[in-house]
């Protein structure tokens, strides 16, 4: 079979997939009697045409970078971690426990503690499915789905019966102490010249970017990363080369869960400043779309996370200003996963045919 040139493989395939998703989304908007052009205008204006919009777009993107990287690391080990949602919720619990009971003197120290708590709890929630996959061969997809639901129940229990302050009605923890407030973009010197009004995007964004670099270094510049990728490509070959499967599955899933958990420093510590029910609000699942769209490469993940940040913020604007329900973003999310993840082969076959036609013409001309 003919192969695609590298640039087409890296850029064109995701672009065509995205285009197909966009076309179908437009058809959906037409089908419900709305105007797709108006929709895209509202989305662009509300999310990237002013600093306020960017403040939200980048805030969402921060969460998606974490969850996208989480799915990416697991994917490279040949594991499909659908449990990002549950791991991110548990990460939120880790943040809450780290911040509620210890009087931290400064946000920077509190951030380190919260990040450790978040990563630790996220990783712990991934550990059981990982162990069951490695030792008992239980399919990780099913166990992580189950763990999402168990996490949801656990969080309801924790918020309603354990962490809810006495006398309060809503299932949420108390507010975190004032000292743990993370600087948002409008409070960071320099950035506050651009972001003049309060926005939820905060310092965590830079941590997310650093994590993207760290994940890249890990996967392509360390022995462990090589082992993870080798294991993901071919388990028998990796086994033959002396790579311990149990170790790789455990480590890859712990890193994955830790990254998903880390998301909580953005939304729980940086934005809500207390732990609310359903804290991850779907970001764990969006990580799947982000990783697929980003071709499981940290650079791609960051770009795809920005795109989904735009989609999320723009979708919220749609819900506010037009008759198009906010659920449109779930549809787009589904379409992106479908085209970039499951129908990858179809897009590729299509492009290979087109390229073959061009090549034939070139040969004729020569």
Partner 1 sequence: MDYATLLQLLDSTLRLATPLLLACLAGLYSERSGVFDIGLEGKMLTAAMCAGAVAFYTGNAWVGALAGIVGSLIFALIHGVTSITFRGNQLIAGVALNFLASGLTVLTAQALFGQGGRTPPLEGAARFGELTLPFAEALRPVPILGPLYADVISGHSILVYAAFGIVALTWWVLYRTRYGLRLRAVGENPAAVDTAGVSVKGLRFSAVMITGVLCGLAGAYMATALQAGFGKEMTAGRGYIALAALIFAKWRPVQAMWACLLFGFFQALALRPDVVEAVVHVKVPVPFLDALPYILTVIVLAGFIGKAIPPRAGGEPYVKER
The answer to whether the beta carbons of residues 331 and 91 sit under 8 Å apart is no
Select from 148, 140, 134, 101 the least CA-distant residue to 260: 148
**Contact string 230-269 vs partner 1 (x = CB under 8 A):** ----------------------------------------
Q: Give the dihedral sign, CA 197/201/202/203.
A: negative
169 binds partner 1 (CB under 8 A): no
Please, what is the minimum distance in Å from the beta carbon of residue 44 to partner 1?
A: 20
Question: Using CA atoms, how far apart are residues 208 and 212, in angstroms rounded to an integer?
Answer: 6
* Binder of partner 1 out of 12, 22, 51, 132 (CB under 8 A): 132
341 binds partner 1 (CB under 8 A): yes
- Residue among 224 and 343 whose Cβ is closer to partner 1: 343
Contact positions with partner 1 (CB under 8 A) in 205-234: none
288 binds partner 1 (CB under 8 A): yes
352 binds partner 1 (CB under 8 A): no
* Binder of partner 1 out of 2, 6, 106, 161 (CB under 8 A): 161
Please, what is the minimum distance in Å from the beta carbon of residue 333 to partner 1?
A: 5
**By rule CB under 8 A, what count of residues binds partner 1?**
49
277 binds partner 1 (CB under 8 A): no
Which string of b and e fits 272-295 if b means at least 16 CB within 10 Å?
Answer: bbbbbbebbbbbbbbbbbbbbbbb
Q: Where are the alpha helices (DSSP H) in 106-189?
A: 107-131, 140-157
- Residue among 245 and 325 whose Cβ is closer to partner 1: 325
197 binds partner 1 (CB under 8 A): no
- Residue among 218 and 350 whose Cβ is closer to partner 1: 350
CA-based end-to-end distance of the chain: 23
- Residue among 186 and 296 whose Cβ is closer to partner 1: 296
202 bridge partner residues: 184
- Residue among 128 and 303 whose Cβ is closer to partner 1: 128
Please, what is the minimum distance in Å from the beta carbon of residue 56 to partner 1?
A: 20
- Residue among 270 and 284 whose Cβ is closer to partner 1: 284
The answer to whether the beta carbons of residues 297 and 73 sit under 8 Å apart is no
146 binds partner 1 (CB under 8 A): yes
CA–CA distances in Å: residue 109 to residues 35, 88, 139, 191, 285: 49, 21, 39, 22, 30
138 binds partner 1 (CB under 8 A): yes
Question: Using CA atoms, how far apart are residues 20 and 18, in angstroms rounded to an integer?
Answer: 5
> Which residues are within 8 A (CB) of 14 and not within 5 positions of it... i.e. 6 or more apart?
293, 294, 295, 300, 340
CA–CA distances in Å: residue 136 to residues 78, 80, 132: 17, 17, 5
The answer to whether the beta carbons of residues 99 and 210 sit under 8 Å apart is no
Please, what is the minimum distance in Å from the beta carbon of residue 81 to partner 1?
A: 11
* Binder of partner 1 out of 69, 93, 212, 292 (CB under 8 A): 292
Contact positions with partner 1 (CB under 8 A) in 8-37: 28, 31-33
Question: Using CA atoms, how far apart are residues 246 and 252, in angstroms rounded to an integer?
Answer: 10
* Binder of partner 1 out of 13, 43, 73, 82 (CB under 8 A): 82
Q: Stretches 96-104, 119-127, 172-180, 340-348: which one binds partner 1 (CB under 8 A)?
A: 340-348
Which string of b and e fits 49-77 if b means at least 16 CB within 10 Å?
Answer: eebbbbbbbbbbbbbbbbbbbbbbbbbbb
Please, what is the minimum distance in Å from the beta carbon of residue 349 to partner 1?
A: 8
Structure tokens given for 50: 């002013």
For partner 1, the binding residues (CB under 8 A) are 28, 31-33, 80, 82, 128, 132, 136-139, 141-143, 145-147, 149-150, 153-154, 156-157, 160-161, 285, 288, 292, 324-325, 327-335, 337-338, 341-346, 349
């Amino acid at each position: 079979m003919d192969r695609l040139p590298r640039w087409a493989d890296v850029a064109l395939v995701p672009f065509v997939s995205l285009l197909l998703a966009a076309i179908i989304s437009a058809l959906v908007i037409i089908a419900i009697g709305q105007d797709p052009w108006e929709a895209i205008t509202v989305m662009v204006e509300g999310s990237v045409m002013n600093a306020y919009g960017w403040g939200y777009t980048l805030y969402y993107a921060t969460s998606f970078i974490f969850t996208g990287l989480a799915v990416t690391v697991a994917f490279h080990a040949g594991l499909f971690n659908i449990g990002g949602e549950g791991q991110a919720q548990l990460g939120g619990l880790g943040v809450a426990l780290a911040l509620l009971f210890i009087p931290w003197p400064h946000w920077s120290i509190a951030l380190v503690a919260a990040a450790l708590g978040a990563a630790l709890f996220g990783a712990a929630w991934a550990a059981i499915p990982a162990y069951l996959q490695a030792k008992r061969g239980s399919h990780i997809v099913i166990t992580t789905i189950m763990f999402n639901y168990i996490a949801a129940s656990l969080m309801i229990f924790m918020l309603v019966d354990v962490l809810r302050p006495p006398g309060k009605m809503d299932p949420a923890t108390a507010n975190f102490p004032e000292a743990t407030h993370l600087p948002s973009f409008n409070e960071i010197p320099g950035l506050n010249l651009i972001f003049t009004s309060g926005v939820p995007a905060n310092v965590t964004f830079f941590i997310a970017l650093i994590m993207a670099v760290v994940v890249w270094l890990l996967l392509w510049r360390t022995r462990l990363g090589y082992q993870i990728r080798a294991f993901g490509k071919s388990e028998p070959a990796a086994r033959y080369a002396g790579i311990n499967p149990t170790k790789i599955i455990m480590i890859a899933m712990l890193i994955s869960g830790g990254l998903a958990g880390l998301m909580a420093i953005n939304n729980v510590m940086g934005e809500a400043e207390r732990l609310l029910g359903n804290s991850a609000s779907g970001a764990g699942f969006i990580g799947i779309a982000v990783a697929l769209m980003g071709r499981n490469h940290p650079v791609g993940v960051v770009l795809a996370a920005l795109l989904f940040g735009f989609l999320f913020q723009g979708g919220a604007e749609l819900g506010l200003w037009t008759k198009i329900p906010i659920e449109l973003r779930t549809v787009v999310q589904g379409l992106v996963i479908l085209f970039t993840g499951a129908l990858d082969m179809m897009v590729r076959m299509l492009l290979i045919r087109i390229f073959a036609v061009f090549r034939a013409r070139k040969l004729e001309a020569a």
